[in-house]
Amino acid sequence: MSTLIADITFEFRRHKELADRAIAGLSDEAFFRRPADQVNPIALIVKHVAGNLASRWADFLSTDGEKPTRDRDAEFILTPDDSRSNLLMAWDRGWSILFATLATLIEADLVKTVTVRGESLRAQQALLRGLNHAAYHVGQILYIARIMKPDAEYLTVPPGQSRQVAGGYLKPR
């Protein structure tokens, strides 16, 4: 595995861990609560990221990242089937597809052309774009989780503790 692929894999894992820890600290009510009229609840962000990961990373080098079976618009609608456990199973499945794909990539793959919604990208570009997308939504999850549970343990550097935290992130207890 190339250094870049290893670094990207590390960052994806770090973001998933942060999101998982934030989600684990929430009640079901907070997981599904919409913080404002035009703001998605964490449940919908989880549903969207799960759909995105499953679509983008399955058959990454050989098929368009926007699979015909994906219904992106439906990812932003909660249905009766969208229990917390079902959403988290889909979330874990999406991340598993991503990590399985990353484990198969080699340095020579980085310059190959892949497509996402018909747009040609170098595989390296698609990896960075995917990491940015995941990081954006993980940031939303962490922010909304803080709103839903203001007294939760900090997952990143707590205010006023920059000098005490090695590596910029709190380690899981």
Greatest Cα-to-Cα distance within the chain, rounded to the nearest angstrom: 49
Q: Is 121 helix (H, G, I), strand (E, B) or coil?
A: strand
Q: Is residue 127 part of a domain?
A: yes
Residue partners of 127: CB distance under 8 A and separation at least 6? 4, 5, 8, 110
H/E segment holding residue 116: strand 113-116
Q: Is residue 173 part of a domain?
A: no
**Contact at 8 Å (CB) between 118 and 68?**
no
- Rounded mean pLDDT for each run of 10 residues along the chain, 173 residues in total: 92 98 98 96 98 98 97 97 98 98 97 96 98 98 96 87 68 52
- ∠ Cα 101 139 67 (to 5°): 35
Look at residue 102 in the predicted model and tell me its pLDDT: 98
Look at residue 158 in the predicted model and tell me its pLDDT: 83
In a 13 Å sphere around the CA of 161, the CA atoms on its Cβ side amount to 13
Q: Is residue 159 part of a domain?
A: yes
Q: Is 113 helix (H, G, I), strand (E, B) or coil?
A: strand
What burial class does residue 2 get, using C-beta atoms within 10 Å of its C-beta: 0-12 exposed, 13-18 middle, 19+ buried?
Answer: middle
Look at residue 121 in the predicted model and tell me its pLDDT: 97
Q: Is residue 89 part of a domain?
A: yes
Look at residue 161 in the predicted model and tell me its pLDDT: 83
Look at residue 85 in the predicted model and tell me its pLDDT: 98
Q: Return the CATH number at 72.
A: 1.20.120.450
Query: How many domains is the chain built from?
Result: 1
CA distances from 138 to 98, 114, 146 (A): 15, 25, 12
Look at residue 2 in the predicted model and tell me its pLDDT: 84
Alpha helices in the chain (DSSP H): 3-24, 28-32, 42-57, 84-104, 123-148
Q: Is residue 35 part of a domain?
A: yes
Look at residue 163 in the predicted model and tell me its pLDDT: 76
Task: State which residues form the domain around 109.
Answer: 3-168
Q: Is residue 41 part of a domain?
A: yes
